[in-house]
């Protein structure tokens, strides 16, 4: 991947990225390692905001599939994202990085409510902002929440940290002959139903011309390498 002049990025992490090698919950060592990568990117001059999923604690779709009311299950999933955001905030602040958590569901005792202008001001002051609770509404994924916040914050790119090193034509974990793309258009991702992010998130990034950079966050130091144009990643962008 060649380097691009990104200045402000939104880093989207799955809840599983906070889980490490555990089957459930939060692995403080993994959170601390990712926090170190975020700090390194900030020290390199990037403005960063984060969105972290909640699948390591509770996944709304899974709850709904087992008979729960979908809206209730989604709200529970949003609360899980707040827990992950607070864990990441703690890890970052232990490293000396000023961090603010803003939740789309107001909970003033533990974090700020989401206010776009306040978030913008935090970024201008060099703070890392973690957006929690998705969009604040059920039936939307944290991918959609990440795309929405990236658009609102006028981010230059949305970086999605996953467990694979880019976008493939099919699941590389299940198919040894899966083909990896260095770059791919929004339209092909949507047309081929590639599982990069949900369709609403892809469409929102396309409408706002926000490239999506998919890379492996589980590989130590990879965020810095990808930002420098040296790591393996797939860039999703372009009209066709």
- Domain membership flag for residue 93: yes
**Tens of pLDDT, residues 103-115:** 999 999 999 999 9
Q: Is residue 151 part of a domain?
A: yes
Tell me how far apart the alpha carbons of residues 140 and 146 are, in angstroms, rounded to a whole number. 11
| Residue-wise pLDDT tens digits, 14-41 | 998 888 888 889 999 999 999 999 999 9
- 56 occurs within a structural domain: yes
Convert the pLDDT of each residue in 156-191 to its tens digit: 999 999 989 999 998 888 899 999 999 999 999 999
Per-residue pLDDT reduced to its tens digit, 203-227: 999 999 999 999 999 888 999 999 9
As for how many domains the chain has, the answer is: 1
Q: Does residue 231 form part of some domain?
A: yes
What does pTM read for this prediction? 0.93
Domain that holds residue 188: 8-236
2 found inside a domain: no
């Amino acid at each position: 991947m060649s380097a691009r002049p990104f200045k402000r990025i939104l880093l989207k992490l799955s809840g599983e990225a906070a889980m490490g090698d555990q089957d459930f919950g939060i692995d403080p060592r993994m959170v601390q390692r990712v926090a170190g990568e975020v700090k390194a990117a900030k020290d390199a001059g990037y403005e960063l905001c984060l969105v972290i999923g909640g699948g390591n604690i509770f996944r709304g779709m899974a709850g709904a599939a087992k008979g729960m009311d979908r809206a209730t299950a989604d709200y529970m999933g949003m609360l899980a994202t707040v827990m992950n955001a607070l864990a990441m905030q703690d890890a970052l602040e232990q490293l000396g990085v000023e961090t603010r958590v803003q939740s789309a569901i107001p909970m003033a005792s533990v974090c700020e409510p989401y206010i776009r202008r306040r978030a913008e001001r935090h970024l201008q002051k060099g703070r890392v902002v973690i957006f929690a609770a998705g969009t604040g509404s059920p039936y939307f994924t944290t991918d959609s929440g990440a795309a929405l916040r990236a658009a609102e914050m006028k981010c230059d790119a949305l970086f999605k940290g996953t467990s694979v090193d880019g976008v493939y034509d099919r699941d590389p974990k299940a198919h040894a002959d899966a083909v990896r793309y260095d770059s791919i258009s929004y339209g092909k991702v949507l047309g081929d139903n590639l599982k990069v992010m949900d369709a609403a998130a892809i469409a929102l990034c396309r409408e706002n011309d926000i490239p999506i950079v998919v890379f492996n966050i589980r590989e130590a130091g990879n965020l810095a390498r990808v930002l420098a144009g040296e790591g393996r990643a797939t860039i999703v962008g372009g009209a066709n």
